[in-house]
Amino acid sequence: MGERLNLAVDDGVGDMLTALAGGERKRGEYVSALVRGLYETQAQAGLPLETLQYAVNGHSGQLLSLSGRLTSLENQMAHVSTQLATLIASRA
């Protein structure tokens, strides 16, 4: 079993973390992987932690953007699928 932590975060960050992790029950695993990767990268590269944090923040923004685009495409596909089903039903 892992280590248990209680954290205070800014408003909305819990929801963002849930979205990034892919579910509420996956948040701990996501944070663990994020911190472990950041720590290992810092140790290997010898870069200041602040520099790496900026890089992670940039990648997080890109992931959120891609997630939004994927959701939009999924919605468009659902709409097209509905239109196609309606068309097929009307010709039957």
Report the range of poorest mean pLDDT among 20-29, 43-52, 83-92: 43-52
The domain segmentation of the chain, as residue ranges, is 13-91
Least confident of 3-7, 40-44, 51-55, 82-86: 40-44
- Cut 0.75: pTM above it: no
pLDDT at res. 1: 61
Amino acid 76: pLDDT = 95
What residues contact residue 9 under an 8 Å CB cut-off, 6+ apart? 17
